[in-house]
Amino acid sequence: MAAHIPLNPQRFFGEVGGEPVALFRLRHANGMEVAVCNLGAKVLQILVPDRDGVLGDVALGYDSLAALQAGAPSMGAFIGRVAGRIAQARYTLDGTAYALEPNAGSHSIHGGPNGSRHRVFSAHQDTPDALTLRLRFEPSVDRHPGILDLTLSYRLTDGHTLVVEHEAVAVCNASPASPASFTPHIFFNLDGPGDTLVDEHRLQVFADRLLAADADNVANGERTPLDGHALDLRQPRRLGGLPDIDHAYELAGSTPGSLRRVAQAHSPVSGRTLDVWTTEPVMQVYTAGALGTGAAPDIGKRGVVHRPRAGLCLEPQQYPNAVNCPAFPLMRVAVGQPYRARTAFRFGTGDISRGQ
């Protein structure tokens, strides 16, 4: 089966936790297609042309509900209510201590075991090129304070662009303000989700600094200059010439609410490019060094066995572990103070500087 064959929605019908699960296909007049499962709001397929105009898949994912449930929980997911790692799965806000359920050693990662990547969103598709999903976050589910209603939108626009927008609003005046950080966790491979790794991809990130982390890769509140750093991506770098990356970059030009280009990836194999635009202040860059390293094989679309460095994740978000790092700005959602963000993944063809 060719990589550009659209996913079959019939293979995703089912229920999880008593909630209906389905696959939704978005289509644009320019030929671009995206497939999203409402379990985790997961982007499982993105079809865009290569340099020869041939449509191909540039996202790792799964081709059935059963495979999705057995696979990597972050694959394609929309992460929340707090993206990244929270040290020791605990924090104190306004004098109140909150103990979370750890799911990464002693830490909490990506919203914990009941975060959005594990939950079923309600979904509604009014037009062929857009999908709206909704999810409520409650302390009884994820142990964070406050009740939040999340509205998430995936839209296809001109220029082969996937726009991801969210709005999180607090529901109850009597509830404490909630920390929040959401991010799309799509695994990209501009050559297709097959046996090719992303080592030949060139990546450039328009950043000011790295956010330092401890031995467990938990942000510690310090910032690291990029000058002379092995992971300085301010000029295009070949990923195969770099160690595994799982680092948060403090992005340049982060005026609150401003949409600006923060990264560009290019594959000389397919000729595809990916530009990332966002309103968020930080972006986690992940070259998927841990992908497919579990006890059981991680089986993706067309029976492909996912391997380390088979994908590239570019995850715009708020500051990681900000609840425990006073030096970092903390996004808190209260009544009348919603959290809105927009990220655009724009695909094209061409070239960027060869880099190192």
Mind telling me the catalytic residues?
185, 315
- At 142 the three-state DSSP class reads helix
Distance CA 69, CA 99 (A): 27
CA atoms within 13 A on the CB side of 210: 20
b vs e for 302-320, b when ≥16 Cβ sit within 10 Å of the residue's Cβ?
Answer: eebebbebbbbbbbbbbbb
Integer Cα distance of 69 and 74 in angstroms:
11
Distance CA 75, CA 206 (A): 25
At 334, give phi and psi (nearest 5°).
-130, 170
Q: In angstroms, rounded to a whole number, what is the distance separating the alpha carbons of residues 337 and 23?
A: 32
* Alpha-carbon separation of residue 165 from 12, 112, 124, 204, 255 (angstroms): 24, 22, 15, 23, 17
- Local structure of 10: helix, strand or coil: helix
Query: Residues 176, 239: contact at Cβ < 8 Å?
Result: no
* Rg of the chain on CA atoms, in Å: 19
Using DSSP's 3-state secondary structure scheme, residue 139 falls into: helix
Q: Which residues have CB under 8 Å from 222's CB, separation 6+? A: 211, 212, 327
Q: Which two structure tokens, joined as six digits, stand for 52?
A: 């020869």
